[in-house]
Amino acid sequence: MSEINLLYVIEGGQPGGAEQNLLTVVKTIDKTQYNITVCLLKPSNILEAWFKDSGIKFFVLKISSGWDIFSIFRLAGFIRRKNIDIVHTCLYASNTFGRIAAAIARAPVIIAWEQGEILQQTSARHYNIDRILAKFTDSIIACSNAVKEALVKKEGISIDKIRVVHNCVDLTKFNASSGVLLTRKRLGLAEDDILIGTAASLNNEVKGQAYLIKAMPQIIKAYPKTKLLLAGEGRSKSDFIKLIEELNIKNNVVLAGFRLDMPSIMAILDIYVCPSIYEGLGISIIEAMSLKKPVVATHVGGISEVVVENQTGYLVRQKDAGSIAQAVISLLADPRLMRQMGEQGFKRAKEYFSAELVTKKMQALYKEVSGLNT
């Protein structure tokens, strides 16, 4: 049985959930069947280190800003020289540049991976490009049914071309870890502090952290020892700092920055909160559930495909600080319920979002779409 030459194309830069998901997939996929290479459109010290440490072949295309036609043809040349059987792109820029290059190279199979909701501010140009490139794409993978529905309704993509494969988490990495007290100490937290937190790029238009910050005064009034941990960096950081100062809750908020130790960060939380306004699925929610954390999350995008209302957590209205506060306070008032939701969340993460399960689905899709002997 000959190996299938499989090329993943992803943007690079500072990694988020989609990049972490890709790393989990390429680490888990059957290497006896697939010869894997990853193309980063832009340099990324973190991603390059991840792939290098995992023994995954990769290269950096180093595209310039705008429409870099030269880089597209360089990528097409690589696809031809290496006899790539399947080109699998991920995220908008990669889905665009990668699919154009794959079409030029006449790659046998082209697959696009849609990881997020289509935002209201997405331009008509974006829609038109996706619709055109869909004609050259053998299959489009949506990370949730919500993303699939958005692709059909907003972009007019044929439903027959879209397959749902949920994102995954390496459960061996996100398990009950030691060193909780040490991690708390390093972040300036006391042993008896109650800690709620969220992990995402600091972009309020998408991730909605301002509404979680605004919920804190009400939560602190009910439970004065509560602290909020915000993990991530982004363009809204200065706005959040100003809001925290205006609400006079500076001593109750920890800005943890971009973290490479997310299992340790998740492990120290009592409740995980996802206040997103848009969300394709919510990998960070799965990570929290993998560590038996109860979840409070907004009822948007694919989140309801992860969080089961009243079983693994609470779903609340988007842009509603009061609803977030009420849900958190209700959980803190019932430690037994918190433990039960944490246990149910762990079972759900293991049953539906493990790396092994999702990778098997991905490989089955490759076989179905390509007809190659895998």
For residue 154 the two structure tokens come to 């907003």
Which tens digits make up the pLDDT trace of 321-356? Answer: 999 999 999 999 999 999 999 999 999 999 999 999
Q: What is the pLDDT of residue 121?
A: 52
> What is the spatial distance between Cα 323 and Cα 311, in angstroms, rounded to a whole number?
18
Which tens digits make up the pLDDT trace of 68-92? Answer: 899 999 999 999 999 999 999 998 8
Q: What is the pLDDT of residue 292?
A: 95
Burial environment of residue 233 by CB neighbours within 10 A (0 to 12, 13 to 18, 19 or more):
middle
Q: How far is CA 243 from the centre of its chain?
A: 26
Per the CB < 8 A criterion, the answer to whether 325 and 218 are in contact is yes
Rg value, the chain, Cα:
21
Residue ranges in the chain whose pLDDT is less than 50: 374
Q: Where would I find the beta strands (DSSP E) of 232-326?
A: 253-257, 271-274, 295-298, 313-316
Q: What is the pLDDT of residue 124?
A: 76
Burial code (b: 16+ CB inside 10 Å, e: under 16) for 93-106 equals bbbbbbbbbbbbbe
